[in-house]
């Protein structure tokens, strides 16, 4: 049986994840990509089939992608990556994400870079995320900083990483703020920033708690109505902030 803190963390992390994804989607250029599509009705039909007939949905999206639909390309990449309606195939996922990204889709860009990062191809991920930053895609800022943290040249790149994280945080990326707080607290940006990082961890966790207080799925004990004591509050603060860390 899970303890109350475990249940709280699971529920809270799910709520935070939903909010983070909402922010991510908001800062993509999906609306502009959608407006460029010439067969929106067929795309909507393909989407409606995903839950009832994923194989047919995949075939529809693939046909659209092969006809030049950037929206279709991005979705075919996702379906290949997740194995929905077709066997999972990361090589094909990479191909279609790249085509979507080259067609101007920030969704394709982010998930192509993520695909490289997840497979430890950090040089390729850095190249893609850097182009995202140049495009003004806010979600790419955090991811480029994260890839820098995996580089053997981290000391040379950490100044730029700090700037990227600060810019992403100012744009409202709570993941970036959480990553920045943890990186500072661990001394990644120099020992003098450690106290600032610890203070930021507490601020970010408080922001996160406020963010999810109104989520109806949260049990009363997760929305601040139960006093947990000092150590319970500390675990809650740190676990909420740790949940904001990017790619693992």
> Chunked in runs of 10, what are the mean pLDDT values of the chain (248 residues)?
51 72 87 95 96 96 97 97 97 98 96 96 96 95 96 94 96 92 94 94 83 55 42 43 46
Would you say residue 229 lies in a domain?
Answer: yes
CA distance 60 to 198: 50
- pLDDT in the model for residue 27: 87
8 A C-beta contact, residue 140 and residue 109: yes
CA distance 113 to 116: 5
Of 67, 71, 124, 69, the residue nearest 94 (C-alpha)? 124
- pLDDT in the model for residue 98: 97
- pLDDT in the model for residue 1: 47
- pLDDT in the model for residue 242: 45
Work out how many domains the chain is built from and give that number: 1
Would you say residue 93 lies in a domain?
Answer: no
Would you say residue 120 lies in a domain?
Answer: no
In this structure, how many other beta carbons lie within 10 angstroms of the beta carbon of residue 216?
Answer: 5
- pLDDT in the model for residue 12: 63
Q: Which domain holds residue 218?
A: 1-27+173-248
8 A C-beta contact, residue 166 and residue 177: no
Would you say residue 233 lies in a domain?
Answer: yes
- pLDDT in the model for residue 241: 44
Would you say residue 75 lies in a domain?
Answer: no
- pLDDT in the model for residue 20: 79
8 A C-beta contact, residue 237 and residue 205: yes
- How far CA 63 is from CA of 4, 68, 73, 98, in Å, comes to 49, 9, 9, 17
DSSP per-residue codes, 13-78: HHHHHHHHHHHHHHTS-HHHHHHH-S-HHHHHHHHHTTTT-HHHHHHHHHHHHHTT-HHHHHHHHH
- pLDDT in the model for residue 239: 45
CB-based burial label for 84 (10 Å; 0-12, 13-18, 19+): middle
- pLDDT in the model for residue 248: 42
Would you say residue 65 lies in a domain?
Answer: no
CA distance 81 to 122: 19
- pLDDT in the model for residue 195: 95
Q: How many CA atoms lie within 13 A of 199 on its CB side?
A: 5
Would you say residue 128 lies in a domain?
Answer: no
8 A C-beta contact, residue 240 and residue 209: yes
CA distance 144 to 130: 6
Would you say residue 138 lies in a domain?
Answer: no
């Amino acid at each position: 049986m899970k303890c109350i803190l475990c249940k709280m963390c699971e529920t809270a992390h799910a709520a935070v994840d939903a909010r983070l994804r909402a922010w991510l989607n908001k800062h993509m250029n999906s609306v502009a990509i959608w407006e460029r599509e010439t067969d929106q009705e067929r795309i909507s039909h393909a989407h409606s089939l995903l839950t009832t007939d994923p194989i047919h949905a995949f075939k529809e999206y693939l046909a659209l992608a092969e006809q030049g639909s950037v929206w279709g390309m991005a979705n075919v990449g996702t379906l290949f990556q997740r194995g929905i309606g077709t066997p999972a195939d990361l090589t094909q996922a990479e191909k279609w994400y790249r085509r979507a990204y080259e067609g101007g889709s920030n969704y394709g860009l982010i998930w192509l870079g993520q695909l490289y990062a997840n497979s430890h191809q950090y040089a390729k991920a850095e190249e893609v995320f850097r182009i995202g930053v140049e495009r003004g895609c806010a979600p790419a800022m955090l991811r480029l900083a994260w890839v820098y943290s995996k580089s053997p040249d981290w000391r040379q790149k950490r100044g730029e990483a700090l700037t990227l994280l600060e810019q992403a945080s100012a744009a409202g990326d709570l993941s970036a703020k959480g990553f920045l707080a943890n990186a500072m607290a661990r001394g990644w940006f120099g020992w003098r920033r450690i106290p600032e990082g610890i203070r930021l961890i507490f601020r970010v966790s408080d922001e996160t708690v406020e963010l999810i207080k109104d989520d109806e799925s949260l049990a009363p004990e997760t929305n601040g109505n139960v006093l947990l004591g000092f150590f319970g509050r500390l675990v809650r603060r740190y676990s909420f902030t740790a949940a904001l860390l990017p790619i693992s």
